Structure 1
Amino acid sequence: MLPRAIAVGIDTVLDRTVAPGYTRIGPAIRRHLSTWPADPEPDAMKGTVVAVTGATSGLGLATAEGLARLGAEVVLVVRDTDKGARVVREIQGRLPLAELHLARCDVGDLDDVRRFADELDAEHLDVLVHNAGAMPPERTESAQGHELTMALHVLGPVLMTELLRPRLGDARVVMVTSGGMYGQRLRADDPGYLQGDYSPTTAYARSKRAQVELLPVLDQRWGGSGISVHVTHPGWADTPGVVDSLPTFHRVTGPLLRDAEGGADTTVWLAATQPVPTGGMLWHDRRPRPFHLLRRTRTGEDERAQLWDWVRAQLDLPQGP
């Protein structure tokens, strides 16, 4: 085993050079370094209840199955309950003893998030994973008139967590972001993407940047209730979303992409590992990562506060915790 200082150096080089660290090469190397944490115990989630949004395919499905494999009772939060029922049967075919439930919610529709929170048949949740995502090919608005990626990746998850706080207790909240956010700065001045020509990849990355920039605010807001908040990015994974939204990228990088299980590994690990990891950090391959890699994307406190003021206004949230 290499000395820890050398292992840290190798891991950092993989991360900063992006492609080697984000593809399947990253975990293939990192798993052999002394910096790689131990896997959770086989029954680490026994007796816990978790909810995973966007759980019918890709990373969400892999996360739900990974947590069920560790013994959790899993609520799959989906838009399409027919598809969700098929996924439940698929998982139970592999894990006959898995305890799985379906709940319908369109996370981008704030009214539906409110209905979901009212109707959720769970007295408590130990883990809430915000995984639902989309990259519409043209500017699209949610039912409330918000640009869809911001509604789905920021407004919906914040509102859902706020409404479920009484049932979360000492829970872990995990938001799944994207490494693409490293190329974008925060646009608190234009959260609806009303300025300039619309780009699907830029809109997606901006909303993911917003997730990361709000992490300190949300960890402070919810941490007083005992909730720890984490953000993780999966690297480059071979998922239906990548195939549909980024066909050229998928065609070029396909042989090196992680499978969905590899992309979901850190999300599952964050949900299950003990002791509870420190909240307010961005994770990739089981290690904290920097919020910024480029000087031009760095965010000031005023910009972060401006974005949070906008989020609070859209959700009608109180100022305090």
Structure 2
Amino acid sequence: MATVKAMLRGAADSLLDLTIAPGFSRIGWGARKALGLLGPINVDLGGRTCVVTGANSGLGLEASRQLAALGADVVMVGRNPERLEQARASVEGSARSGASITTEVIDLSSLESVRAGAARLLASKPQIDVLVNNAGVLLDSRQASVDGIELTLATNVLGPFLLTELLIPALAAAALERRPARIINVSSGGMYSEAVKLDELQSERSKWSGSAVYARTKRMQVMLTEYWAGQLADQGIVVHAMHPGWADTPGVESSLPTFHKIVGKALRTPAEGADTITWLAAAEAPNRSSGGFWQDRAERPLNRRPGTASKAGDDRLLADDLRDLAASA
């Protein structure tokens, strides 16, 4: 009987995922919770260090809050010191006794800031158990970073790529003691709509569409997840990507005001959107695989639309291109 119930729950979950709008909205969250698929995360993260980027609002703030409530030592990363300190204070109020909440100011769109911030993190946190790459932007016009790189790519992909590569020694050190360490890349369901063109990473030749450029960077994050999963397996580091569904965050409200207005109350809360980040960071089940794309604690398909899938080896080519771009900027 238990097996039959599990199969029925799985079938209902898959059906929700196929419907897109209900599955990505608060309807899907509520249905999966009613099915018993989203129960409490009862894990002790005491003594574990979790680094969360984009932590001053939205999903990053809520993930920091949830991880701290499980006892983790959380390093909240953001580019605005004042807002970051306000966020830290709000998380500290709900943290479990013994958990430490600290901040690190890093502008992920600036390679100099990333390198300096990574050096400080390696000095202060020689072991990092979880890295959550959450920071991101969606822009309504083409802009350049301080390094002359298209700003969406710089913030959503190149900066997190460089930060992750620089922090691998600390992740590997944690894995030696408490195998495995984990990297979690916060992507978006929007990535299903776009393909990545390796010769057009900076969107220089096509007409600007902020949502399309954003979606392509989110697919790049999934490609990097696959790349790192292969590269880091022998170091005891598990890598997963996830998407939060449609969550009511400040970023969505400011970048997609029409979408935010139309969907309205059907949007998930930031806490609901961040749940799978916390689950991937804390639960045992994600340790059994690497390179997956998750939503609501279940692995989801990488492709839904014809012509958007990457080819074999593209993940490595993307990593090589980003490495070259970081070195030359």
Superposition TM-score tier, normalisation by shorter sequence: over 0.9
Contact 2:67 2:74 in 1 (8 A): yes
CA–CA distance in 1 between the matches of 2:162 and 2:22?
A: 36
Structure 1 position 28, deviation (Å): 1.0
Between stretches 211-220 and 191-200, larger displacement belongs to: 211-220
Residue segments in structure 1 that go unaligned for 5+ positions in a row: none
Question: What SS is found at the alignment partner of 2:135?
Answer: coil
Contact 1:173 1:230 in 2 (8 A): yes
Amino acid at match of 2:77: V
Question: What SS is found at the alignment partner of 2:307?
Answer: helix
Aligned to 1:205: 215
Structure 1 position 298, deviation (Å): 1.9
Question: What SS is found at the alignment partner of 1:75?
Answer: strand
Structure 2 residue aligned with 1:30, among 25, 29, 32?
Answer: 32
Flag as ranges the 4+ runs of structure 1 deviating above 4 A. Answer: none
Query: Could you say if the C-alpha distance between residues 277 and 263 of structure 1 is closer, same or farther in structure 2, counting changes exceeding 3 Å?
Result: farther
Structure 1 position 4, deviation (Å): 2.6
Structure 1 position 39, deviation (Å): 3.4
CA–CA distance in 1 between the matches of 2:248 and 2:224?
A: 27
Structure 1 position 37, deviation (Å): 6.2
Aligned to 1:6: 8
Amino acid at match of 2:12: I
Between Structure 1 and Structure 2, how many residues are aligned? 315
Amino acid at match of 2:126: E
Contact 1:188 1:304 in 2 (8 A): no
Aligned to 1:227: 237
Contact 1:172 1:229 in 2 (8 A): yes
Aligned to 2:114: 113
CA–CA distance in 2 between the matches of 1:141 and 1:158?
A: 18
CA–CA distance in 2 between the matches of 1:109 and 1:137?
A: 20
Aligned to 2:105: 104
Amino acid at match of 2:70: L
Contact 1:270 1:277 in 2 (8 A): no
Amino acid at match of 1:289: R
For the pair 1:93 / 2:93, whether they are aligned, the reply is yes
Contact 2:131 2:183 in 1 (8 A): yes
Amino acid at match of 1:143: V
Show the 5 A alignment for 1:244-259. Answer: 244-259=254-269
Contact 2:75 2:103 in 1 (8 A): yes
Residue segments in structure 2 that go unaligned for 5+ positions in a row: 176-180
Aligned to 1:238: 248
Structure 1 position 214, deviation (Å): 2.5
Structure 1 position 281, deviation (Å): 0.4
Aligned to 2:309: 298
Structure 1 position 32, deviation (Å): 3.1
Structure 2 residue aligned with 1:130, among 128, 133, 139?
Answer: 133
- Deviations for 1:155-196, whole angstroms, at most 9, x for unmatched residues? 111211111111112210000001001111112120000012
Amino acid at match of 1:22: F
Show the 5 A alignment for 1:1-321. Answer: 3-33=5-35, 36=37, 39-41=40-42, 43-95=43-95, 97=97, 98-120=99-121, 121-169=124-172, 170=175, 171-275=181-285, 276-301=287-312, 303-316=314-327
Structure 1 position 308, deviation (Å): 2.9
Question: What SS is found at the alignment partner of 1:296?
Answer: coil
CA–CA distance in 1 between the matches of 2:191 and 2:81?
A: 30
Contact 1:75 1:102 in 2 (8 A): yes
Question: What SS is found at the alignment partner of 1:297?
Answer: coil
CA–CA distance in 2 between the matches of 1:309 and 1:90?
A: 39
* TM-score after normalising by structure 2: 0.91
Amino acid at match of 2:116: R
Query: Could you say if the C-alpha distance between residues 302 and 308 of structure 1 is closer, same or farther in structure 2, counting changes exceeding 3 Å?
Result: same
Query: Could you say if the C-alpha distance between residues 156 and 277 of structure 1 is closer, same or farther in structure 2, counting changes exceeding 3 Å?
Result: farther
- Deviations for 1:36-91, whole angstroms, at most 9, x for unmatched residues? 265332x5211111110010000000000000000001000110111111112222
Contact 1:39 1:269 in 2 (8 A): no
Select the structure that is richer in helix: 2
Structure 1 position 302, deviation (Å): 5.1
Structure 1 position 266, deviation (Å): 0.2
Contact 2:33 2:39 in 1 (8 A): no
Structure 1 position 224, deviation (Å): 2.3
CA–CA distance in 1 between the matches of 2:217 and 2:326?
A: 16
Structure 1 position 304, deviation (Å): 3.8
CA–CA distance in 1 between the matches of 2:315 and 2:93?
A: 45
% of aligned pairs identical? 39
- Deviations for 1:233-253, whole angstroms, at most 9, x for unmatched residues? 000000000110000100010
CA–CA distance in 2 between the matches of 1:138 and 1:87?
A: 28
Between stretches 153-162 and 261-270, larger displacement belongs to: 153-162
